[in-house]
Amino acid sequence: MGRYGNIDYPSFVKRGVLVGLVLMFVGELGGYLAENYISVPGWEETLFLLLAGVGLLLFATSPILFGIVLPLTE
């Protein structure tokens, strides 16, 4: 057993990338719809932007963190 228990790193990478893509897609789609088709308050446009940003960050860091860094520390 490793330092952090029995963690299935490949599944964490896949789930992190998938969740990041979904968040980014929802944020971008919501921002596009809010900008062109529906009227929403400014805080909702900010929420869509943050959602897309968090999704991009999760998409980019999940493979590095769970695929490279944590397996090397065990």
pLDDT in tens, 4-57: 678 889 999 999 999 999 999 999 999 999 999 988 999 999 999 999 999 999
pLDDT over 60 at 60, yes or no:
yes
Cα–Cα nearest to 13, from 63, 70, 68: 63
In degrees and rounded to multiples of 5, residue 8 shows phi and psi of: -90, 90
Q: Find the mean pLDDT for residues 45-70.
A: 95
**Domain ranges across the chain:** 9-69
List 2's β-bridge partners, or say none. 5
Indicate the pTM of the whole model: 0.85
* pLDDT tier at 1, thresholds 50, 70, 90: low
